[in-house]
Structure 1
Amino acid sequence: MAIELTMVRMKVAILRHSWKGAQAGLVATGATGGVLLAAGTIYLGGWDADLFGAACAIWMLGWILGPVVAGGGDETLRPEYFTLLGLRPRRLATGLLTAAFIGVAPLISLLALSGLVVAGARLGPAAVLTALPAMVLQVAVFVLLSKVAVAVMGIALRSRVGAVGAGLINGAILAALGQCWVFVMAFGGSGGIPAGLVRALPSGWGLAAVEAAGSGDGMGAAAALARMAALIVVLLVAWAALLTRRTGYAQASARDRRPMRATTREGGVVSKELRTWSRDLLRTHQLTFSLAYGLTFGAAPLVLGWDGMLAWAGPIFVTMATAMSANLYGADGTALWLTLMTPGASDVRGRQLAWLLTVGPVALVLTAVLTALAGASWPLLLATVVALTGGGAGLVPLVSVYALVPGSDPHRRTGNPLRVGEDGAAVGLVYGMLLLSVLTAAPAVLVALWSGWAGVAAGLVTGGLCYWGFGRLAERRLRTHGPELLEIMRTGRRPSGGMSFKMPDLPQPQKTIVTICLTLGAIPLFPQGILAGMFLANGSSVKSWFLALYMPPGLRWPTAVFMMLLGLSMYGAGVWIPLRLRRRLAREAAPAPAPLPGA
């Protein structure tokens, strides 16, 4: 146990020194949301066993998919740190697993699974006693499934076929979770959630053990607990084998050696970027992830026989591809020095054109085919996808140079290719880019709703302006702050000068307000505002959980618009409060004016 305890102490020490400033704010925000979700899960444990089992399945999927979306999961202790100690793979895996239970996520999951105790309280003392070990075993299953999923993903991303397959699967599953209301309504219309299914999944074995103990079936309860223990052993052995593959990983070289034939600076950048999009397995994964997400999100309502979302798969694909490209320069690492040493390299314009050539044709074909199949509004869809594509081509370089997140050089990536940075700032960048991307399309959408085909012209204009204007701003930033950007990527630290975007520490009440606004602002803006407006524009009869669709006809559009304004106001407040404090602190720190002579 010496190695295990040492790793636990290392994890505790690292977390104690890292939870400061912005990182502490992110942890507090995530913990607040997690506690709220855990409270809801506990409530389901005392109300409906089937729904509680379904909630446990969602927690399991969150553990499996969360690290994929969040950039590789918890990498506080990396296997590479211990390669020179000569530890056997199973010993290393056991130590890392023990340390993995130290953190906010496992504690919140354990809190959510205390719903097993609540469920057992309705069935008797034996069920309550069974729930206690079931909670611990269930959390161990979740953590190990997460570790194995990340390790398998790391191996998959070492081949082009694996990167494509992983992107398709992850995008489809995450989009299905985003459209879970569809499946809830479908199950509700066919007799409810299948009880056998939620108990057959590993996430439901703890519930099965509690219910067996409550009904007097001691052997059944013991068998369910034994299944979880056996699964833990199997996953631990599998993870140990995957760790061996990871620590012995060697980067594969590219096979395609065709020479570039570009004759201009911009053409050279375009050729280089197009090859990067086709060869960099991380970019391949991100692109296929975006495509699968858009298709699945748009096609999910077909389960209910409604095709109103199908044609929107193209715009959703563009929005997600824009968000996944938000840290374009950071993902390339210190290769920026090549651009800085080549004056007039047209790097930004070349990257913009390459991004358009990679994303644009797929988006246009996807939108045209699905719009024809669904019989949706051609002006609205074309205006949206054109505006989003032009806006994305402008936002990608702009955001990646103004809010750059330091990333590992591609040739120095760890055995976990999903971990391209040292913190979770890239995840926040993705969410911010989703909002910015939608805003670039808003004018064209409004014109298309108002006057049809004029919206396409508006989309071309706004998309072109975003492409030209944002690209010009990115070029200027790269030219004037290129050395600072290179220093950030080389060291991971921002200089104390003009490149610092760190917000000041807020008083606790204001910090709570900012956290709530930035965390919950997406709910009124996107589902209750923008998505509800799309439903209204398409004349959909599906109400689901959209407040505007339950209002009287004369109040539906005002409600949707109010929700959009509310969401924008929350985001605005979340940004304005720290900026106001920063300006006030700057004024207080400014030197006082010299007194007038004779005063």
Structure 2
Amino acid sequence: MVAELIRLKGALLANGFRRSPWQLVGVILGALYGLFVAVMLIVGLFGLGGQDAELIGTVLVLAGGVATLLWAVIPVLAAGVDSTLDPARFAPFPIPSRDLAAGLLLTGFVGVPGAVTLILFVAQALAWRQWAPAAAAAVVAGALGALYCLALARLTTTAAHSLTASRRFREVGTILLFVPLVLLGPIIGGIESWISSAGLMDWLPQVAGVIGWTPLGVFAALPADAAAGAWAVLGLRFAAAVGYLAATIWLWAVLLRRSLERPAGSGKGGRAQAGLGPLGWFPATPWGAVAGRSLTYWFKDPRYAASIVVVPLIPIAFWYASSQAESPFMLYAASPLVAVMLGFAISADVSYDSTAFALHATTGLRGVHDRLGRVLACSVISVPLVVLLSFIPLAAGGDPVDVLAILGVSLGGLLSGLGVSSVASARWTYSVPLPGENPFKTPPGAGARVAVVQLATFAVATVALLPELGLLIAFFVTGNPLYAWLTLAVGLLLGGALLALGVRIGGRWFDARLPELMQAVTLNK
């Protein structure tokens, strides 16, 4: 049964590649990127092997502890990203829980995260190449450590099954997972600065020594014992590591059996809302109805949440980059970047509609009204945010005239981006997470098609912003306030013209391709 489950996981992955050539291209590109990252880390491990044993042990124990902790947390927050071999699907079948647990655990290596983790953990042997016993111990400890990561991920996700079954938890989890990814640079830099300023560098070996006896770092600490010839300590630590692994697998098997016998319910429905909500904010016109429904998505659909959540994070990331470069001008880029991103955010609106797009197809809605309604919904949120971020130069000690120039570039980028997106979403659709699914999920058939369409749309929106950028550069080079006023005027006039043109062209394509759009969103492709 274990071998059958592994074969089934491989067949599911292979069938996903056959479903669409774009999926295969996307997997190849993703694999090449993953291979590049893995090679860089392996090169780093090889370089680490030239240091003394204490430093090698400290670095590997701390890095292994962080990796193990991420395996315990990220699968819970990202529940629903990979739904292949979901344990709940095996509830109707009389499969012994022991066989099911073993099979599901080992299938974790049939995939990019598990395979890369196994390779990198085993590759720790390169760092211990000066000591043959330590290198051999690193291979065994790395394989067991990777297995423990998968078991810990299964344990935490199964224990949190009643939470992850809740849509509200998945939405909050997505936001919690997205925030540290955006602020990864400032977080790492802040931790490094804190450790250096607090004089904790000398304490890291002691910290690693403590972590080396916990489930987080016990596997990574085994090679150091072999390198030091501490065989008694090695045996005791190995017994602890095997005990941690066995206890985790046993506890997960118990929770898995209980979850299959008593599946978590879907939970209560959402609270009823009084009134029409955003639908009552707009006139009773076709474009008003589209705007109201689209704005409801912006407030309640977690797939749109990333576009809003990232807004307050970008100024923080740019502030950190500006402090490192000791130049305030990095902060000036925050507002234009947010503007282009928000304009780009509606480029997949039709795809996100899913089967609800039938409302647009069966009511005889004109394409120009559809495009205009979606633009207005996005503008309700994006315009105030962009205007507010345009005042960042004042906070950075800049001149008030700088605000005019930044505001012109930002509004120009937002308006032209909305125009380009109005054309793109009517002409190209692609697979997206369905309503209620995890926003990070990659549907079969997406792959490179998503990357190509999004990259092309973003590139065109950026090219449309070149006149404003040229005037902005002229303003900062010459210091002449006239260029600031020209930037604002060109941003409003040219951006508005591109928006009107995009709504008009997108509306025509919408009318001409309505049956194809309906078929595409129904099949989610």
TM-score range relative to shorter protein? 0.7 to 0.9
Give distance in 1, aligned partners of 2:470 and 2:195: 35
Q: Which residue of 1 aligns with 2:181?
A: 174
Provide, for residues 520-554 of structure 1, a one-character-per-residue CA deviation record: whole Å limited to 9, x for no partner: xxxxxxxxxxxxxxxxxxxxxxxxxxxxxxxxxxx
Aligned length: 484
CA 1:482–1:204 in 2, change beyond 3 Å: closer, same or farther?
Answer: farther
Q: Is the 8 A contact 1:319 1:388 kept in 2?
A: yes
Amino acid at match of 2:303: L
Q: Is the 8 A contact 1:90 1:237 kept in 2?
A: no
Give distance in 2, aligned partners of 1:163 and 1:375: 40
Provide, for residues 9-61 of structure 1, a one-character-per-residue CA deviation record: whole Å limited to 9, x for no partner: 21222233333433222222222222222222222223333665676578668
Shift of 1:354: 0.4
1:169-568 residue pairs with structure 2 within 5 A? 169-177=176-184, 182=189, 186=193, 194=204, 200=211, 204-215=217-228, 216=230, 217-218=233-234, 219-220=236-237, 222-223=239-240, 226-227=243-244, 230=247, 248-249=265-266, 252-259=269-276, 260-261=279-280, 262-283=283-304, 285-301=305-321, 304=324, 306=326, 308=328, 309-322=330-343, 325-345=346-366, 346-368=369-391, 370-376=392-398, 377-407=402-432, 410=435, 413=436, 416=438, 418-419=440-441, 421-425=443-447, 428=451, 429-430=453-454, 433-451=457-475, 452-453=483-484, 454-492=486-524
Q: Is the 8 A contact 1:290 1:321 kept in 2?
A: no
Q: Which residue of 2 aligns with 1:34?
A: 34
Give distance in 1, aligned partners of 2:206 and 2:428: 48
Q: Which residue of 1 aligns with 2:8?
A: 10
TM-score, with structure 1 as normaliser: 0.68
Give distance in 2, aligned partners of 1:122 and 1:60: 26
Give distance in 2, aligned partners of 1:431 and 1:90: 46
For structure 1, list consecutive stretches of 5 or more residues without a partner in the other structure.
Answer: 494-599
Q: Which residue of 2 aligns with 1:115?
A: 123
CA 1:226–1:145 in 2, change beyond 3 Å: closer, same or farther?
Answer: closer
CA 1:353–1:245 in 2, change beyond 3 Å: closer, same or farther?
Answer: farther
Provide, for residues 441-481 of structure 1, a one-character-per-residue CA deviation record: whole Å limited to 9, x for no partner: 34322211113412222322342233222222221121111
CA 1:36–1:276 in 2, change beyond 3 Å: closer, same or farther?
Answer: closer
| 2:82 partner SS | coil
| 1:114 partner SS | helix
| 1:84 partner SS | coil
Give distance in 2, aligned partners of 1:157 and 1:467: 41
1:576-595 residue pairs with structure 2 within 5 A? none
TM-score, with structure 2 as normaliser: 0.76
Q: Is the 8 A contact 2:165 2:266 kept in 1?
A: no
CA 1:73–1:398 in 2, change beyond 3 Å: closer, same or farther?
Answer: same
CA 1:281–1:473 in 2, change beyond 3 Å: closer, same or farther?
Answer: same
Provide, for residues 142-193 of structure 1, a one-character-per-residue CA deviation record: whole Å limited to 9, x for no partner: 4456667888699569465x56743543332112335678459747965797
Provide, for residues 363-383 of structure 1, a one-character-per-residue CA deviation record: whole Å limited to 9, x for no partner: 322332x33222244245323
| 2:390 partner SS | helix
Provide, for residues 241-288 of structure 1, a one-character-per-residue CA deviation record: whole Å limited to 9, x for no partner: 7889986435733521413443222222222222222222433x3244
Q: Is the 8 A contact 1:367 1:381 kept in 2?
A: yes
Q: Is the 8 A contact 2:346 2:374 kept in 1?
A: no
Amino acid at match of 1:277: W
Give distance in 1, aligned partners of 2:78 and 2:263: 19
What is the percentage of aligned positions where both structures have the same residue? 21
Give distance in 1, aligned partners of 2:439 and 2:256: 16
For structure 2, list consecutive stretches of 5 or more residues without a partner in the other structure.
Answer: 49-55, 476-482
Shift of 1:353: 0.7
Provide, for residues 550-580 of structure 1, a one-character-per-residue CA deviation record: whole Å limited to 9, x for no partner: xxxxxxxxxxxxxxxxxxxxxxxxxxxxxxx
CA 1:281–1:360 in 2, change beyond 3 Å: closer, same or farther?
Answer: same
Give distance in 2, aligned partners of 1:153 and 1:307: 47
Structure with bigger RCO (C-alpha 8 Å, 6+ apart) = 2
| 1:263 partner SS | coil
Give distance in 1, aligned partners of 2:490 and 2:72: 42
| 1:85 partner SS | coil
Amino acid at match of 1:122: Q
RMSD, aligned α-carbons: 4.2
Q: Is the 8 A contact 1:171 1:291 kept in 2?
A: no
Q: Which residue of 2 aligns with 1:597?
A: none
Q: Is the 8 A contact 1:7 1:99 kept in 2?
A: yes
Provide, for residues 301-348 of structure 1, a one-character-per-residue CA deviation record: whole Å limited to 9, x for no partner: 477595734454444444444555442211110111211222245111
Q: Is the 8 A contact 2:431 2:443 kept in 1?
A: yes
Give distance in 2, aligned partners of 1:317 and 1:147: 37
CA 1:83–1:183 in 2, change beyond 3 Å: closer, same or farther?
Answer: same
Give distance in 2, aligned partners of 1:234 and 1:349: 55
Shift of 1:101: 1.6
CA 1:448–1:63 in 2, change beyond 3 Å: closer, same or farther?
Answer: farther
Amino acid at match of 1:469: L
Q: Is the 8 A contact 2:124 2:142 kept in 1?
A: yes
Asked if residue 46 in structure 1 is aligned to residue 9 in structure 2, the reply is: no
Give distance in 2, aligned partners of 1:291 and 1:9: 43
Shift of 1:389: 1.8
Which stretch shows the higher mean deviation, 142-151 or 29-38? Answer: 142-151
